[in-house]
Amino acid sequence: MKNFISNKRRIFALIITAIASYWLLDAFIDTLLHYDETFLENLLYNEKENAFRLFFSTCFLLFGILMAFAFSKQMVAEELRSEKERRSLFETVPYGFYECDTNGKIILANESYSRITGYSKDEILNMYIWDFMEPGQQKDSLPEYLNQLINEQPSPMPYIARNIKKDGQLNDVHVDWDYKRNEQGKVTGFVCVLSDITERNRADDALREAHDELETKVEQRTKEVLEGETRYSSLFENMLNGIAYCEMIFDGDGRPVDFVYLEVNDSFENLTGLKKEVVTGRKVTEVIPGHNDTHPELLEVPDVRLSSP
């Protein structure tokens, strides 16, 4: 369309130039032959000038015809080159492209659409757009939906469909479309671009399955850990021996100087008289003042090299 408009402008400019050139030629002849009459008076009353004008007009006309022929030939060459470029792009893009009329019959398709569907281009041009769709409600309602689009003309919205290839395989396609209109704006068909998203969907499904499997394993492992903690807690609480789970505290030289009660069992309470809520989270020197002086052996760990955390 842009080339067409540009060519029309060039032709219009050529016509204006020809008219202007002719009137300049007429003025030159008047000056050359020293006539003061107007062009019409000279044309009617001066036979010698008429012959002179006829000669130059004929030459100018022949020159104009040659220029117009050369220009037309150039325009045809440009149109052919542009058409060849459009056709090359149309056939090489990785997306399936087709046009259909208002009845859903395909009237144009490229090689990528042939590859996506598995049908040859000759076969495709004898088919309707729903011939490729998986049987179901979406396929059955498509003819009526086309009529609705033509009558109401809502804004085009992309959609995803499942098509059946010639060999029977199913593939998922993402479809972008728009209306095809004539010069009066009337809808004469539809233009569609398809993307085969089968592999992408398979990758998404595989990723989703891996995620679900990982979540299942995490839940299973968490359950096992909780069950282990439950068994440990049961054993810890029901032992006859008093047990205190503590964290050692070290000074700057890495020597143990105190420890904190983290957890104690019921037997510890019964044997020491110290309640869980009193000792848990507190240092032994706070719970039992002078404890380290009377029991320094509790701060000794034989045959173990101590180091601060």
- What is the C-alpha to C-alpha distance for residues 98 and 129, in angstroms, rounded to an integer? 9
- What is the C-alpha to C-alpha distance for residues 149 and 181, in angstroms, rounded to an integer? 13
Average pLDDT, the chain: 76
Q: What is the mean pLDDT of residues 224-233?
A: 72
Of 188, 170, 162, the C-alpha closest to 99 is: 188
pLDDT greater than 60 at residue 179: yes
pLDDT of residue 100: 92
pLDDT of residue 189: 92
- What is the C-alpha to C-alpha distance for residues 190 and 180, in angstroms, rounded to an integer? 5
pLDDT of residue 159: 86
Top pLDDT among 141 and 55 is at: 141
Name the packing angle between helices 47-92 and 2-33 (round to 10°). Answer: 160
CB of 125 closer than 8 Å to CB of 107: yes
Top pLDDT among 301 and 254 is at: 254
pLDDT greater than 90 at residue 128: yes
* E strand spans, 86-227: 96-101, 106-109, 159-164, 170-181, 187-196
Q: pTM to 2 decimals? A: 0.47
Amino acid residing at 273:
G
Q: Which residues of 17-40 are buried (b: 16+ CB within 10 A; e: fewer)?
A: ebeeeeeeebeebbeeeeeeeeee
pLDDT of residue 119: 92
Q: Calculate what percentage of the chain has a pLDDT beyond 90.
A: 10
pLDDT of residue 106: 92
